[in-house]
Structure 1
Amino acid sequence: MDAAQLVLGGLSVASAGYCLPTQACWPPLDAWAALNSTLDGRLVRPDGPLPCVQPSCSDADWRIEQPSGLMFLNFEDGFGLLPDESMQTATAAPVEPPLMTSGDRTPAYVLQAQSDSDVAHGVAFAREHHLRLRVKNTGHDYLGRSSDPGSFTIWTHALNETRFEPEFVPAGAPEGTTPHMALVVGAGTIVKGVYEAADKAGVIVAGGVSKTVGAGGGYVLGGGHGPLAPLLGLAADNVLEFTAVTANGTIVHCSPYQNPSLFTALRGGGSAFAVVTSVAFKAHGPPSGFVGIFGSFGLRDGANATGDSGKGAWKEVVKRWIDLQPRLSDAGSFAGYSYIRRPEETPFAYILPSANVTSAKEVFRPFFKAAMDDPDLDVQFRFVVRKTWYELWHGTFTESLESLDAVGIPLLLGGRLVPRDVVEQKSDELATFLAESPSPAILHLVSGRAVSDEPDFPSSVNPAWRHTLLHIDLPVSWPSAAPLSTVHHLSSYLTSHTLTLGRIASSLGHPQASYASESNYYEEEWQHVWHGEENYGRLLEAKKEWDPEGVFSARKAVGSEIFGW
């Protein structure tokens, strides 16, 4: 008996699915008008997928301001997304599958929330009418879970206020609890806003790498890794308190001392329990400076990429790069990103939260020297030192990666968390996989050190993070005009490619695991791969406690195998 069956008895499985616009149960126009009046006119009816007109189509800042806008086109129009027949179990509520050809996955209505009470009104309305409720922040969504055909979306982007509290005490804490510095951010606050507010307060906080990611939304609910994670831990582990709207439309505070089961579930368990409206992140004193290491490596112009010499040099440099990662983690709270993409050069951007540039140079020197000594290779690198994290991140760091963070394109991801012992003992297999991969791979050194530590209070992030060293993403994209057969071929390839990486990552006995927010849309064993088997059982118990009717749903979110989506 699996975890879903064990807790099924306490959940109210819907027999008719969620109500869609084509069905008689859909709320009449006067009901929508009454809701719109309550919201002072902030209910929007989207006009289908956004027109992809350049330069706005590929502008993330433009896309986050659109009520129904998502970052990736296939999740707006549904082109090429295969239906989930295997997900329609005997207990799942029947729902319409995504469209297989070009269509419309945008919501029927969008509620532009400007306050916690707006969110509460929206949740209560969705519950009363059993609507397919979705929550969207910035649309940085690699799984398409913030929009679906016929859905009712609560858009939290305008909930973006920030405040620094030098002595924050979580709700419900007993008298005498030691206060902590905190940055309280609205759910709609993007990474850029979080880092700006922290810099102004003279502190640092855990956050993401891309400036338009919603730091107080799906990012933290999925766990939240980033360039400061090896120093500070995952974003979810740094949460002191959430303010959220529960399934019955109640605004609550949850912390280790008040509504602790909801607090734990939201710390990495996803969006299936409540709508978060604000987050109090633990704030930390900064180091004396930050070192940035930027550059690229690859085959030299004129080198024969298909000849024995070129192929050998390429695989060897990839292996040396992999072997470097645990040494970096041992030497300090290094974090970084590298885009391995044969036959093009591999750009990288790394940081060391320290002003000690000499230390950074010493650990990177053997790799750079070996690459420079190989006549088939070209390597470029530079070290920069900045006083504050915001200065480095907003400047050279973002500039070095921004062109690689494309939006306004169709995109699917696969990925796996790779344990440290696998990186150390199976570097040959990893190097072969990465060097011979026909599609790009993104290496994230965003774990180890603080991420490996159990947090002060229980968290629901995938337990695999505690022994992970590398998070590897496997992106695939295609031209918007590509035929359906091409998209389906790439989808099948991505699943196979992801499982191949997973076999390497699990070769020393670890279960296959991935970062839930950046995973394969077609992952079959998603409950265990994204969350961990025992952890998923605990999350279902939290679903039973906080949302027994399935008000909050999404494709492959906790409980979706019970309620449908």
Structure 2
Amino acid sequence: MKRRELLKAALALPLLPALLRNAQALPATLAGAVRARLRPGQPGWPAPAEWEALKRDVGGRLLKPVSPFAGGPGTAAYAEAVKQLKNPFALGDDPALTQTSGWADAWTSRPSAYAVAAESAADVAAAVTFARQHRLRLVVKGGGHSYQGTSEAPDSLLVWPRRMNKVTLHEGFVPSGGEGKVAPLPAVSVGAGAMWIDVYHAVTTLGGRYVQGGGCTTVGVAGLVQSGGFGSFSKGFGTAASNLLEAEVVTADGAVLTVSEHTHPELFWGLKGGGGGSLGVVTRLTLRTFELPPFFGAVFGTIQASSDEAYRALVAQAMAFYREALFNRHWGEQMIFAPDNTLSISMVFQGLTQAQAEQAWKPFFDWVRAHDEYSFAEAPRTLALPAQHFWDADFFRQHAPQLMVNDDRSGTPSYHMVWAGDRGQVGWFIHAYQSAWLPAALLAPGRQSALADAVFAASRRHDFALHFNKGMAGGEPSAIARTRDTAMNPQVADAFALAICADGSGPAFPGLREADLGQARGDAAAVAGAMEALRRVAPHAGSYVSESDYFLRDWQRGFWGSNYARLLRAKHRYDPDGLFVVHHGVGSEGWSADGFTRVG
């Protein structure tokens, strides 16, 4: 961390306890008389005629979501849902389901009481106004990927913008309020219900340009941007949030605002990494696009060490090699360390040819081959393809069908595909999930031994990965500068990687199957042990809000660091009554865990 930011953090963090006390005191100051949200059957819950009025206001698009598993195995809905259980597009198309089915001892996916299948900002504004007037719990689900359950809440009114998926390219875009102040930029405008595959298809496959989005193709665009938004090539192009130019957002008072750095700049800044579902409902985003590199590519391989001692040496060599050859804007994705003394490589590159990528890795693979203690459980291979085909479903069907899976339902877009490696997350039930940003200072020659010791010690407890694209250090300077101008924890700019350790099991939706909580708690203990070993060399490491521990105690500091005070001020300004509440979201310390009752 640079001196200027260190001083900012030193000044702001001592104020954090007071700010949190103020947040809990909101009912007496900013929040008016609202002390609790209503549930069905309670006095004041909207009468049928009132729901009918909302239905008319939204053009008939008011639904009562029902889980397809609710009727039991003998029903057609149940059978079809089981058939599509590993199809993330099918899960996303059902307002009663989420892409994550729950988290042990934390939450379980359950449908809302009602849902507005929004097709416009006016529909969203009508839903927000109805929830505010009737004191309802409001929840927003775009892609539904939230690990922490922020896109679901039983007994709530759901805003479901799945149909708001229009994608529009701009040769030269000027954000609102920027006329005459900033030069037009190539950009893309995206509806809040779009998934990243919709955007990649329009921008890259058809348009021949690049937009920084998420690695998983079915993640929702709006949620990813609001959480910060890493993709495989973030070191080269920045986070998704750092490339936001403008957003349309519905605020708690039902107003539809167009925000940018020139209009409502504090709300705009808060949407860039301040977490989804806390400041308003985003209905449209406009992101800058970039010139597309000639090639995207990947390097794969798995190395087996013959002993613990040899594995410790392999870890040290891998860290030194990363610092020397890969710590730059070209490389992203991960190395995976495991208790069975394997090191799995799953790295991607941009801006290089296949020959250049092979040359970069040659010293490391030569070192492995020169030592008898190591063997290749998976032989190393390097692949490169024209970047315009990286998300081209037709290209992969012809050349590498094993790498992708189609949405095989009739009538669905032919370009809808998901990476085969991401199917394990579809509907999964989380046992544990923790992350920590590792500072680039650990790569210095005098610190590498301690880093290698920590990585080795962590690998004794549980497998985990270092995601190099989820730390901006070593990346393109302009991308780092844009990322610093977001609401994310400032540590992201000085981290070389995000360490992620997680475990889970197959789908456990209510009515489908029950999770093995004994197994889940054992896995959680192992994950905690691995992360504890890593945090010995990074004791103050922050955590990425989208990929973090549900039970994180100091989440305000962990997710946002010195930026939390500013986010809380924006929350008080644009949502003083706390209509938008999500687990561990800005201002949520003033509400009960389920988001229904004021606390303090």
So what's the TM-score if we normalise by structure 1? 0.86
- The match for 1:303 is none
Contact 1:423 1:430 in 2 (8 A): no
Deviation at 1:327, TM superposition (A): 2.9
Other-structure match for 2:421: 403
The residue matched to 1:252 in structure 2 has which SS? Answer: strand
- For structure 2, list consecutive stretches of 5 or more residues without a partner in the other structure: 1-16, 70-77, 405-418, 509-513, 596-600
Residues 225-283 of structure 1, C-alpha deviations (whole Å, 9 max, x = no match): 11121111111000000011111111110001111111000000012101001111011
Cα separation, 1, equivalents of 2:294 and 2:253: 47
Aligned residue identity for 2:570: A
Q: Which residue of 1 aligns with 2:172?
A: 167
2:501 pairs with 461, 474, 480, which one?
A: 474
Q: TM-score, normalised by structure 2?
A: 0.82
Q: Equivalences for 1:322-333 in 2 at 5 Å?
A: 322-333=319-330
Alignment check: 8 A CA contact 2:30 2:576 kept: yes
**C-alpha displacement at 1:556, in angstroms?**
0.9
8 Å contact from structure 1 (residues 415, 472) kept in 2: yes
After superposition, the C-alpha distances for 1:119-141 in whole angstroms (9 at most, x for unaligned) are 11111111111211111011111
Q: Answer yes or no: is 1:254 the counterpart of 2:271.
A: no
Is residue 501 of structure 1 aligned with residue 534 of structure 2?
A: yes
Q: Which of 268, 278, 281 lines up with 1:275 in the alignment?
A: 281
Give the corresponding residue for 1:541: 569
Counterpart mapping for 1:373-522 below 5 A: 373-375=370-372, 376-378=374-376, 379-391=378-390, 395=396, 399=403, 402-406=420-424, 407-411=426-430, 412-424=432-444, 425=447, 426-441=450-465, 443-446=467-470, 447-448=472-473, 449-450=475-476, 453-455=480-482, 458-478=485-505, 480=508, 481-506=514-539, 511-522=540-551
**Equivalent position SS for 1:58:** coil
Distance of 2:326 and 2:337 partners within structure 1: 20
Shift of residue 55 of structure 1?
3.8
Q: CA deviation at 1:318?
A: 3.1
Aligned residue in 2 for 1:133: 138
Structure-2 change in CA distance of 1:496 and 1:43 (3 Å): farther
Question: Counterparts of 1:297-308 in structure 2 under 5 Å?
Answer: 297-299=302-304
Residue identity opposite 2:557 in structure 1: H
For residues 418 and 359 of structure 1, the distance between their equivalents in structure 2, rounded to whole angstroms, comes to 27
User: RMSD in angstroms over aligned alpha carbons?
Assistant: 2.6
- Among residues 305, 311, 314, which one is paired with 1:314 in the alignment? 311
Task: State the alpha-carbon separation in 2 of the partners of residues 550 and 194 from structure 1.
Answer: 32
Q: Which whole-Å deviations, capped at 9, do the CAs of 1:103-122 have from their partners, x for residues lacking one? A: 76321111111111111111
- Kept in 2, the 8 Å contact 1:134–1:145? The answer is yes
Q: Is the 8 A contact 2:139 2:158 kept in 1?
A: yes
Distance in 1, matches of 2:564 and 2:368, equals: 44
In the alignment, residue 441 of structure 1 is paired with which amino acid? A
- Flag the 1:525–1:495 CA change in 2: closer, same or farther, 3 A: farther
> Could you tell me how far apart the structure 2 residues matched to 1:397 and 1:347 are?
22
The AA in structure 2 aligned to 1:162 is V
Residue 511 (structure 2) aligns with: none
C-alpha deviation, 1:284, in angstroms: 1.0
Partner of 1:20: 39
Distance 2:486 2:225 in 1: 11
Does the aligned pair in 1 maintain the 2:301–2:381 contact within 8 Å?
no
1:324-343 equivalent positions in 2, closer than 5 A: 324-343=321-340
Q: Is the 8 A contact 1:236 1:267 kept in 2?
A: yes
Find the counterpart in structure 1 of residue 18 from structure 2: 2
C-alpha displacement of 1:33: 1.6
Distance 1:235 1:456, change over 3 A: closer
**Residues 168 and 469 (structure 1 numbering): CA distance in 2 closer, same or farther, change over 3 Å?**
same
- Distance in structure 2 (CA, Å) of the matches to 1:562 and 1:495: 28
Once the two structures are superposed, what CA deviation does each residue of 1:206-225 show, in whole Å capped at 9, x if it has no partner? 1111110112x211100001
Task: Map residues 355-366 of structure 1 onto 2, 5 A cutoff.
Answer: 355-366=352-363
Distance 1:105 1:503, change over 3 A: farther
Amino acid at match of 2:588: S
Percent of residue pairs identical:
25
- Asked if 2 retains the 8 angstrom alpha-carbon contact of 1:4 and 1:537, the reply is no
1:495 Cα offset (Å): 4.2
3-state SS of paired residue (2:257) = strand
- Partner in structure 1 of residue 63 of structure 2: 44
CA gap 1:81/1:13 in 2 versus in 1, 3 angstroms: farther
State the distance in 1 between where 2:401 and 2:317 align.
23
For the Cα contact (< 8 Å) 1:289–1:354, is it kept in 2? yes
Cα 1:546/1:328, change in 2 over 3 Å = farther
SS at 1:2's partner residue?
Answer: helix
1:228 and 1:383 map into 2 onto residues whose CA distance is 17
Q: Within 1, Cα distance between the matches of 2:42 and 2:530?
A: 40
Output the CA distance in 2 between the equivalents of 1:434 and 1:453: 29
Cα distance change of structure 1 residues 251 and 380 upon mapping to structure 2, 3 Å threshold: same
Q: Does 1:245 align with 2:250?
A: yes
CA contact (8 A) 1:335 1:445 kept: yes
